[in-house]
Structure 1
Amino acid sequence: MINSEINTELNSQNNLVEKDFNTPKKVDVNILLNRVRAEKNSEVKKNLIITASALGAVAVTGIIAIL
């Protein structure tokens, strides 16, 4: 059942839970910035791993080609 002001859901114990989406919620900008920084660091690490893997594959291919 969806109302314009209140959304009801069943939680894991099959109890009815009401959520009021019209109440003002505070958002901490520092938390959001920390989340963005963490995601950026994660992407940098992933890119570094991919680059290292690609360079390793090229090095192994070069060594095999030389032999």
Structure 2
Amino acid sequence: MQNLQALIQGRISPQTIDPDQLIALAKQYTQPNSAEYKLLELALNMILASYLEQAQKQL
């Protein structure tokens, strides 16, 4: 979770987040109203947007 907080705060780039860690966190935090779930959701959106941007640059 600390890595996700650092990502949201702009201290690390989306590419530094391990996808396996994201999967493990998604399995662990399944309550949509929890702060952890919302943090994970926001971080995932940022990571996906970053990868989409990279893909668009390749086209």
> What's the TM-score bracket when you normalise by the shorter of the two chains?
0.3 to 0.5
The structure with the largest helix share of the pair is 2
- Bigger Rg, which one: 1
- The structure with higher relative contact order (CA 8 Å, sep 6+) is 2
TM-score by length of 1: 0.38
Q: Name the one with the larger strand percent.
A: 1
TM-score under structure 2 length normalisation: 0.43
